[in-house]
Amino acid sequence: MLQEPTLERLYAMRLAAMASAWEDQNRSPKTNDLGFDERFAMLVDAEYVARENRRLKRLLRDAEFRISEACMEGVKASAERGLPPAKVKQLAIGKWIGEHLNVLITGPTGVGKSFLACALGQLACREGHKVAYRRLPRLFEEITLAKAEGTYGKLLGKLAKVEVVILDDFGLGKLREAQRHDLLEVLEDRYGDRSTIVTSQLPIKSWHEWVGDPTLADAILDRLVHNAYKVELKGPSQRKEKAIS
């Protein structure tokens, strides 16, 4: 029989899903009623789905989400929370990614900012886009290390190529002079070409003061705020509610 050599060649060509589907077909009497085109289409579909699943798994792993289980299906629309159904639907369509728009999520601690940011990031991964999640304080540490190792330009170039970057905990602590310039460099590389998601406990109106330097604050906010969807979450801490329940 030609089956064994054919299977070996399929595996050698890294078509494992197609090989497995072919074996399943040969074990099922029902496939004898199908024509060649139908059976071949089923094999191609099996390989395609397997590759797409592997790609999604790789994108999710590389994104390093803080909340790995977050997804748009788990986002609860509520006008009282500042998330009316129309806005959730608008974000879930994902047009903001192709239009290179930002998403700015503000609100007090525990209201679900990081969950929503990670859910939007997962959506982007499902659509085949590269995503990178960073807490802003940790990103500054990463940048400091890159400068010491001489890989600062490489790090900026890597971030610039990512379709969606999530900057969580924007507005924590006090910015140093070098950090202001680093933040501007990251955002300048992305402006108009990529999307950035920001979460912050500070309202947007307080960001200028937080940046500190008026000139740099103008430049940073110009690249973040004016081409962005804005979500202001409200209500009690969901973490406290879960702890009580």
Ranges 46-60, 135-149, 195-209: which has the least confidence: 46-60
Position 142 pLDDT exceeds 80: yes
pLDDT value, residue 218: 96
pLDDT value, residue 70: 96
> In this structure, what DSSP letter does residue 229 have?
E
Task: Indicate the pLDDT class of residue 151, thresholds 50, 70 and 90.
Answer: very high
pLDDT value, residue 241: 53
Ranges 11-20, 52-61, 137-146: which has the least confidence: 11-20
> 45 Cβ partners below 8 Å, 6+ apart?
none
Task: Indicate the pLDDT class of residue 242, thresholds 50, 70 and 90.
Answer: low
> 128 Cβ partners below 8 Å, 6+ apart?
55, 59
Q: Which is more confident, 19 or 122?
A: 122
Residue pLDDT, tens place only, 218-232:
999 999 998 899 999
Q: What is the DSSP string of 2-15?
A: -HHHHHHHHHHTT-
pLDDT value, residue 75: 94
pLDDT > 90: percent of the chain: 69
Residue pLDDT, tens place only, 28-60:
888 878 888 888 888 888 888 888 889 899 999
What is the average pLDDT score of the chain? 91
pLDDT value, residue 240: 54
Residue pLDDT, tens place only, 75-104:
999 999 999 999 999 999 999 999 999 999
Contact in structure between 192 and 183 (CB atoms under 8 Å): no
Measuring CA to CA, which residue among 73, 81, 85 is closest to residue 107?
Answer: 81
Q: Is 121 left (phi over 0), alpha (psi -120 to 50) or beta?
A: alpha
> In this structure, what DSSP letter does residue 78 have?
B
Measuring CA to CA, which residue among 49, 1, 2, 57 is closest to residue 21?
Answer: 49
Q: What is the mean pLDDT of residues 172-199?
A: 95
pLDDT value, residue 153: 95
Measuring CA to CA, which residue among 159, 138, 155, 137 is closest to residue 146?
Answer: 155
Dihedral over alpha carbons 51, 52, 54, 59 (to 10 degrees)? 140
List the domains of the chain with CATH numbers.
3-62 (no CATH), 68-244 (3.40.50.300)
Separation between Cα atoms, residue 123 and residue 118, nearest integer Å: 9
In 3-state terms, what secondary structure has residue 36?
A: helix
Task: Indicate the pLDDT class of residue 244, thresholds 50, 70 and 90.
Answer: very low
Position 239 pLDDT exceeds 70: no
Q: Which is more confident, 236 or 70?
A: 70
The three-point CA angle 164-170-172 to 5° equals: 155
Position 245 pLDDT exceeds 60: no
